[in-house]
Structure 1
Amino acid sequence: MKRFIPTSLAVLAALIHSHSFAYPATENISHYTVGNPLDQPRQQVLAIPLKSAPQGDLLVTANGAEIPSQTTATELLVALELDAQKHTDIAVHQLINGKPELSYPKQTYAELAVRVGGQVDDKGHYSGGQYHPVSQMQLPPSHSIGNKLFKYEGFGWESEQVAYRYYFDHRGAVDIFGKVKDGLSLADTGLDGGDYHSLSDWGMDVLKVGPSLGIGAVGAWVDNALIKPDPVQNMTVSIADGTLQSSATVTHSGWSMGDKTLDLTTRYRIRAGSHLTRVDVTADALAQLATGIVKHGVQVLTYAPDDGKWGYIATFGNQSLNDDDLGMAVFFPMSAFDSFQTDAANELVVLNNQPQAVHYYFGAYWSAHPNGPQSADEFKSLLRNEIEQLNHPFTLTPSKP
């Protein structure tokens, strides 16, 4: 790990200070107290909002020791571990005349890998060359499903606990890569000669998606029916790969739906140590959205408390492609909740559109993972724990040194 190395200006300032002269400050330091309000220990990534985009990374210390962090344009992300009902003090350091070089082990990853330098046959199928990650991509008009232009048919994002992929085409669905051990695996998934539908040393594709949303993808809810974002004039995606948080943002432009033409922007974000993907959806012209879980004829669980902040729709049972148990859940804010619905392919929750966009979470929990649920009761306990953490996030209070 690269450390926070003082610049020559900082060294000079220390020398001047030792002779009791005034000296220019080399860094701004902000202090905070972080609290865990739950009666259980937890590891979580805390987001500290930033008033403006910083010039370079910020460094964070707790009790004088450096802790992993990630700086984005709008947030400072900090990886914290707190015991039950405990607090800790952190300091955020911003170097005024320099930039710290930070390097921490990656705990999340996102990619869209595109074939470069290969050949295409008369059926439009690609081979040869190599896959290269790109930060942005517009779906080519000539793209067809299964033509091998993209690794695993689209873009993906992951924590060390689970991975997800989005079919970058008209299907508009999210699939699951289950893991049998913790670690990042997407970079090596979907390469020529591999088969992610068979169990490997990292795991496998565990979900049969079919015509459904898969898990957590979004569509419109109009006249008591789900409408996927198709047809559209074009689709684009942008990828943000980071140490503690990675995301993919897909935009459907010129979505034709009846007498309306609209744009739909959906951001999928995952953080270190979590099974949950947060989804932020912007579609101003829609009154209601729908998301949900593929229907596999297993147990369906719903929770929509009148006095709670978060609810869920979930399924559990033998529904993985490995012929074992898989739990899936969508967690939604009760402030947006309208109703639970179902259609031929999905178990759905309908959400009322919000002026500041709609957001919700989804998560997959495979029984073959070391911490995966081995029974319906274990899965229900896991759901309760996720709800508790959503209802009671870390507290953040500015403090004095």
Structure 2
Amino acid sequence: MNSTKSIIAITTLFTLVSCNSSKVTTNQNEKQKTYAEISVKEGGKWNGKKYEGGTFKNINQLQVPENHTDHSFYIRYEGPGWESNKIGYRLYLDWRNAIDIFGKLTDEMVLPKVGQDGFDSYHNMDEWGADILKVGKGLGIGSIGRMVNNEMNHFKEVDATFTKVENFNNKSVVSIDYTGWKTNEQKTNLKSELSIFPDERYTKHTIQLSEALNGICTGIVNLYNLPMIQKGNDSNKWAYIATYGKQTLFDDNLGMAIFYEVIDAEKVYQGPHDHLIQFKPTTQPIDFYFLGAWDKEVGGITTEKEFFEYLDTLLNKLNTTNKLN
């Protein structure tokens, strides 16, 4: 371990703040429509890269332990989750750094009970829904990676990762700070903010890097070889890429899309595992939106035609107002 990483680990180890306070002041008669959380094990112990024993407790902030990796059994459903009354998402808070989709069969908030009865029980369809997206080696939807020599670099070397969740009346937010993300012998700090809104499927993702690196990408995983539909050109402020079809773990129809500002994009192309948007090198904030639309959602979109009509409505709003929320 290098000295920088040692100092960071020692000074920030296990910054856990309990969730006994909330910024949500919604009237009790008003139905909750967004929610974000992160939940970790307490009362057990680490055995190498695995956490044994203990029970899950929701917290507001987390400094990720240095020995945490995929399938450490420490973080409930492996990272922070956020949802609206339409759909849910989670981010693997480890080297994969991919975003997954929870398809919902209800408009209630479901994340507090996901993964409580077994570490990966959410892969099985339940009364609330299930994890419906297979990520594999890809980015999932709307997460960040760096393409170097036609290889997607995930987050295998990071000095420290810190995350917090916040719930407000009009949105729920997951913030993540990555310190010292190393790719191609270069390091950067990356700030990521993911916001979800009532009655909406989309997440607004804002990223900012401390170094202007080439190859920074977001994308849509392409395990089922579905065609990518791209709409928008140089005369538009915004554009989107999207896929639609049977691309879930349950052979259901799912639409996925990413809206991006044309001026931010260097190129759009097919990577080894994903349909990709590569951003121009910059240290300025970049905003984009991503969404999933599952055909089993309550009152949801059930045809390809409906899906693209929905996307076009959002695109028109973006090109008119430059924002969705």
TM-score between both structures, scaled by the size of structure 2: 0.84
Give per-residue Cα distances to partners, 1:113-167, cap 9 Å, x unaligned.
011123556772433x331111111111122322221110111111111110000
The structure that is strand-richer by fraction is 1
1:291 maps to which of 214, 218, 222: 218
Aligned partners of 1:123 and 1:228: how far apart in 2? 19
| Higher percent of residues as helix | 2
Answer whether contact 2:23 2:168 (CA < 8 A) is retained: no
Distance of aligned partners of 1:270 and 1:123 in 2 relative to their CA distance in 1, 3 Å threshold = closer
Which residue pairs with 1:243 in the alignment?
A: 169
State which of 184, 187, 191 in structure 1 corresponds to 2:116: 191
Q: Counterpart of 1:155?
A: 80
Superposed, which structure 2 residues align to 1:190-339 within 5 Å?
190-193=115-118, 195-222=121-148, 225-285=151-211, 286-295=213-222, 296-339=224-267
Seen in structure 2, the aligned counterparts of structure 1 residues 233 and 375 have a Cα distance that, compared at 3 Å, is same
Q: Any idea what SS the aligned residue of 1:293 has?
A: strand
Cα distance between partner residues in 2 of 1:266 and 1:232: 14
Alignment-mate amino acid for residue 391 of structure 1 = N
Could you tell me how far 1:393 is from its partner in structure 2?
3.9
1:379 maps onto 2:307 in alignment: yes
2:60 is the counterpart of 1:135? yes
How far 1:202 moved relative to its partner?
1.3
Mapped partners of 2:279, 2:154: distance in 1: 15
Pair 271,124 (structure 1): closer, same or farther in 2 beyond 3 Å: same
2:280 aligns with one of 352, 356, 363:
352
How many angstroms apart in 2 are the aligned matches of 1:357 and 1:178? 30
Deviation at 1:284, TM superposition (A): 3.2
Identify the residue that residue 291 of structure 2 maps to in structure 1: 363
Report SS of the residue matched to 1:335: helix
Deviation per CA, 1:360-396, whole angstroms, max 9, x where unpaired?
A: 000000011133332222221111122123233499x
Q: Deviations over 1:306-342 (max 9, x none)?
A: 2212101111110111111111001001121221111
- Aligned-partner SS, 1:229: coil
Is the 2:209–2:283 contact (alpha carbons within 8 Å) kept by the matching residues of 1? no
CA separation of 1:394 and 1:208: change in aligned 2, threshold 3 A: closer
Give me the CA root mean square deviation: 2.4
- Please give the TM-score of this superposition, normalised by the length of structure 1: 0.69
Unaligned runs of 5+ in 2: 1-21
CA distance in structure 2 between the partners assigned to 1:262 and 1:111 by the alignment: 26
Deviation at 1:177, TM superposition (A): 0.2
CA contact (8 A) 2:203 2:290 kept: yes
In the alignment, does 2:21 pair up with 1:124?
A: no
Partner Cα separation in structure 2 for residue 121 and residue 255 of structure 1: 26
Contact 1:106 1:244 (8 Å CA) reproduced: no
- Residue 380 of structure 1 aligns to a residue whose secondary structure is helix
1:303 and 1:353 map into 2 onto residues whose CA distance is 23
Give the aligned length. 297
Which residue is equivalent to 1:56? none
Q: Percent identity?
A: 31
Tell me the amino acid that sits aligned with residue 109 of structure 1: Y
Q: In the alignment, residue 74 of structure 2 is paired with which amino acid?
A: L
Q: Which runs of 5+ in 1 are unaligned?
A: 1-69, 73-100, 396-401
Structure 2: which amino acid aligns with 1:235? Answer: T
Query: What SS class does the counterpart of residue 260 from structure 2 fall into?
Result: strand
